[in-house]
Amino acid sequence: MRGQEVSVGSQLVFEPATGVVRFLRRGRVLLDHVSAAVVYTSAGGQRKKAEVAGRQVTYGLARDGASLSVADGEVELTWLIFPGEETHVRLEAKNIGSQPVRVGELHVLDVTAERGGTFNLGGRPGTWRFFQNGWQSWTPAFVRDVANGTWVNPNTADYRTKHQPHGVPNPPRTLSSEWFTVIAPPQGDELVRSPVPAPALLLGFTTTADQLSEVQLDLNGSFHSLRAIAHADGWLLSPGAKVTSETLLLASDSNPNALLDLYAARLGEAMHARVPNRAPSGWCSWYYFYGEETADDVLANLGVMQTEQLPLDVVLIDDGYETAIGDWLDVSGEKYPQGMQFIARQISETGRRLGIWAAPFGASATSKLLAAHPDWVLRDEQGQPVLAWKHWGVDVFALDVSLPAVQSWLRETFRTLAEEWGVEFFKVDFLFAAALPGVRHDPHMTRAGALRRGLEIIRAAIGERFLLGCGAPLGPAVGLVDAMRVGTDVSINWKPFWQDLSEPATSNAVLNTITRSFMHRRLWLNDPDCLLVRPSGRDSNLTLSEMRTLTTAVGLSGGLVVDGDSLTQLPPSRLKYLKSVLPAFGRSAVPVDLFRNERPGQLVLPVQTSWGSWTMVALMNWEQRSCTTRVRLSELGLPSRAYHAYDYWRRRYLGLLRDEIVIPTHRPHETVLLLLKPPSEKPQLLASTFHIAGGAVEVKDVRLSEGRLVVEMEKAGQQAGQLVFAVPEKQRVTGALANGQPLRTRQISPGIWETRFTLSGTATVELMIG
């Protein structure tokens, strides 16, 4: 039987006698017998757990929320709940004893079946979908089938260090997602047709500066437990002192993708996200030279940028210029005999910016930095240095960012790179090293706090110059980086050598780029990693289809566009692919099947301009065999009506579609990119092939005037391409001009006309219609 209940609005009910809470959504119980807890270590070294549930609570009510308090003699818990359509929850722990304690975990929300807790999501628990967000850039992120999800844990020491900040899940069946998750009921065809789909649940921490946090779901055939945990990392709590968790957001919606958007928006607002107006483009030395480039190689590629008029504004010199990890100001004289300032001047003279790679929170065993300052290294409880990673076989140790001396070194190093070297674009990598477990100089600095402090120092040193994070635990970086790598490294191989979703591979990079697309322009600019368009052969194992899939993912991500080829080796037939995604469109496509498929393959990008609107649809075949793909327009969120369909990569008009898209032969790893546009009673520009967005970037205006359809275009550089027009029945094209010069036109289908030309900067194209 339930005891006396207290209601707070229509979203929250709690029992003062037992300390349990019930969360409701639209009159329906979503979570029942919810509690909160703190895990701490007493002065005598005993590990304890103080819970709100099972105790008489002292409570306070306000217009917008409630506070529930309990104490166990050493620690007092205060649970703060602010219910609503967006419910916010925090947990405070205060030391009320006479001896210090160490706080390990703050369970801001704790539901267990053992205590009578229930999670009423809808459908059988074995059919649920769980968004599993990885800890850092390279950690896999995807919506997991809870009953039979993709294998992601190779169970190696390196994987545990880089990707499992809280250790191996216990029990092993526990699903863990860093900072947030969205848990959704089945999203199959029967629910697409359902008039009232069951709502999905968002649990996400909207502050992330001080504590790493995670959401755990344990299903043992049926629901077992659900927890949202903020990690205080053994925070030393003196008598009378208090520690507060990060803030947890709960929300529900029948559209799980909308919950991801909501979470990113609220996190970005709370953490004051930096979102530049424009995504930069550039060239990176890594994916062709792999650290063996010389100054001559960089200048040769710079020369191609000039000759081809490529609108690439950053020249990023990646790993390899330094003599060792940690010795960032010690440049290899063999590779760069005239120093980096010389390279910076050459780049600047072309109107471009120098970019530099660094891994600022590590020091290699061979570095001068470690030899001079062995005491700067983070150490474990046994006093041993913490190994962060192996760099080409060399041990790299984590630095203790809480040390004032390390902070001063960071500040001066990045000030020198910015002000003396002239670096305008910084790629900081392997950032997880700052957040590894260890005994820090400052006992009140958590892992999240150490990473954030390091980034704050770098940001202050470089000012408003561009900062790209990589290998980074995501949450603490929000508000400090301008862009963030959201996936693994790309590769000249489609699949990794080992079955591991965190390993460098183009398929892995594309997957994370898609699954984290909602972060773009809410937390930062997304970085999908480098584009590789080189031909298959000695320098690449990617097929044409795989290269096009990567190009589509980069182009539709809306984020950074950075090429990783040797431009001196690219033939025109491949250079055109790079040109097709320059400059970045800025907006990201939505994976509409994200909660239906662990490898989503239906990307939808609505495009709205002052002169027209259309939809770009990318359909991916993740399989290693050809197949026939059928997709209903309703699955893509498109109204059922007629659409002109143009195949962007194959440059084919496919006719009018109604209700369904059919790809008879969908090749292995191929992405078919379609432009869908409703017919019009008037002549209209159907598609432009000068950019992957179909005309949104390069077409500035389209107008119909006195029997002429006039298209105003502008795009940096020089590029060949097509314009495709749709002309109503009983009308035909009688001629075309580009900047006053005649253009050839041809009819490619009834009512569909095409013209080809080279766009150099600007053009006015006129289509005469009779």
Q: Is residue 194 part of a domain?
A: yes
Would you list the DSSP string of 106-157? EEEEEEEGGGT-EE--SS-GGG-EEEE--SBTTS--EEEETTSPPP-----H
Does the pLDDT value for residue 676 go beyond 80? yes
213: tokens are: 């946090």
Helices 404-415, 447-462: crossing angle, 10 deg rounding: 30
Grade residue 171 by pLDDT with cuts at 50, 70 and 90. Answer: confident
Q: Is residue 593 part of a domain?
A: no
Q: Is residue 392 part of a domain?
A: no
The angle at the Cα of 162, spanning 161 to 166, to the nearest 5 degrees, equals: 60
Q: Which of 63-67, 225-229, 406-410, 425-429 has the lowest mean pLDDT?
A: 63-67
Strand partners, 608: 613
Q: Say if residue 106 is exposed, middle or buried (CB neighbours under 10 Å; 0-12, 13-18, 19+).
A: buried
**Between β-strands 180-184 and 129-132, what pairing exists: parallel, antiparallel or unpaired?**
antiparallel
Maximum mean pLDDT: which of 9-18, 114-123, 212-221, 505-514: 505-514
Per-residue pLDDT tens over the stretch 177-189: 999 999 999 876 4
Do 289 and 256 fall within a single domain?
no
Do 178 and 254 fall within a single domain?
yes
Predicted confidence at residue 67, as pLDDT, reads: 96
Whether 30 and 252 have beta carbons less than 8 Å apart is answered as yes
Do 176 and 107 fall within a single domain?
yes
Predicted confidence at residue 257, as pLDDT, reads: 97
Per-residue pLDDT tens over the stretch 486-519: 999 999 999 998 889 999 999 999 999 999 999 9
Grade residue 221 by pLDDT with cuts at 50, 70 and 90. Answer: confident
Q: What is the mean pLDDT of residues 237-250?
A: 97
Does the pLDDT value for residue 339 go beyond 70? yes
Q: Which residues contact 667 (CB under 8 A, 6 or more apart)?
A: 545, 621, 626
Query: Tokens 């065999």, residue?
Result: 625
Do 262 and 298 fall within a single domain?
no
659: tokens are: 């209700």
Q: What is the mean pLDDT of residues 408-416?
A: 98
Q: Is residue 63 part of a domain?
A: yes
Q: What is the mean pLDDT of residues 36-55?
A: 95
Any idea what the CATH number is for the domain that residue 119 is in? 2.70.98
Q: What is the mean pLDDT of residues 724-735?
A: 93
Predicted confidence at residue 190, as pLDDT, reads: 41
Do 716 and 571 fall within a single domain?
no
Query: Tokens 């860093």, residue?
Result: 178
Domain span holding position 408: 281-362+402-588
Helices (H), 215-338: 256-270, 286-289, 295-307
Predicted confidence at residue 741, as pLDDT, reads: 95
Q: What is the DSSP letter of 444?
A: T
Of the residues 572, 588, 604, the one at which a domain ends: 588
Does the pLDDT value for residue 2 go beyond 60? no
Of the residues 220, 248, 270, the one at which a domain ends: 270
Residues recognised as catalytic? 429, 489
Q: What is the DSSP letter of 534?
A: P
Predicted confidence at residue 196, as pLDDT, reads: 55
Any idea what the CATH number is for the domain that residue 769 is in? 2.60.40
Helices (H), 44-197: 157-163, 189-192
Of the residues 588, 622, 651, the one at which a domain ends: 588
pTM: 0.96
Do 176 and 29 fall within a single domain?
yes
Q: What is the mean pLDDT of residues 294-316?
A: 97
Any idea what the CATH number is for the domain that residue 429 is in? 3.20.20.70
Residue 391, number of CB atoms within 10 A of its CB: 18
Q: Say if residue 744 is exposed, middle or buried (CB neighbours under 10 Å; 0-12, 13-18, 19+).
A: exposed
Strand, helix or coil at 207?
Answer: coil
Predicted confidence at residue 1, as pLDDT, reads: 38
Give the CB-side neighbour count of residue 561, counting CA atoms within 13 A: 30
Do 157 and 250 fall within a single domain?
yes
Does the pLDDT value for residue 714 go beyond 90? yes
Question: What's the Cα-to-Cα distance from 105 to each of 41, 91, 160, 211, 529, rounded to whole Å?
Answer: 10, 11, 20, 10, 34
Q: Is residue 151 part of a domain?
A: yes
Do 299 and 243 fall within a single domain?
no
Do 100 and 224 fall within a single domain?
yes
- Per the structure, how many domains does the chain have? 3
Q: What is the mean pLDDT of residues 301-307?
A: 97
Question: What's the Cα-to-Cα distance from 382 to each of 378, 379, 385, 386, 401, rounded to whole Å?
Answer: 11, 8, 9, 10, 19
Read off φ and ψ for residue 99, nearest 5 degrees: -125, 150
Does the pLDDT value for residue 151 go beyond 90? no
Predicted confidence at residue 192, as pLDDT, reads: 44
**Between β-strands 525-527 and 483-485, what pairing exists: parallel, antiparallel or unpaired?**
parallel
Per-residue pLDDT tens over the stretch 312-321: 999 999 999 9
Does the pLDDT value for residue 220 go beyond 90? no
Q: Is residue 637 part of a domain?
A: no
Query: Tokens 């919506």, residue?
Result: 143
Does the pLDDT value for residue 200 go beyond 80? yes
Rounded-to-integer distance, Cα 455 and Cα 399, Å? 13
Closest CA to 541 of 576, 496, 486: 496
Q: Is residue 395 part of a domain?
A: no
Per-residue pLDDT tens over the stretch 513-562: 999 999 999 999 999 999 999 999 989 999 999 999 999 999 999 999 99
Predicted confidence at residue 32, as pLDDT, reads: 96
Whether 644 and 676 have beta carbons less than 8 Å apart is answered as yes
Do 159 and 15 fall within a single domain?
yes
Q: Is residue 383 part of a domain?
A: no
Do 575 and 497 fall within a single domain?
yes
Does the pLDDT value for residue 453 go beyond 90? yes
Grade residue 193 by pLDDT with cuts at 50, 70 and 90. Answer: very low
Q: What is the mean pLDDT of the chain?
A: 95
Does the pLDDT value for residue 103 go beyond 50? yes
Grade residue 3 by pLDDT with cuts at 50, 70 and 90. Answer: low
Whether 428 and 370 have beta carbons less than 8 Å apart is answered as no
503: tokens are: 């390993």
Q: What is the mean pLDDT of residues 225-244?
A: 97
Do 311 and 333 fall within a single domain?
yes
Whether 263 and 249 have beta carbons less than 8 Å apart is answered as yes
Does the pLDDT value for residue 150 go beyond 90? no
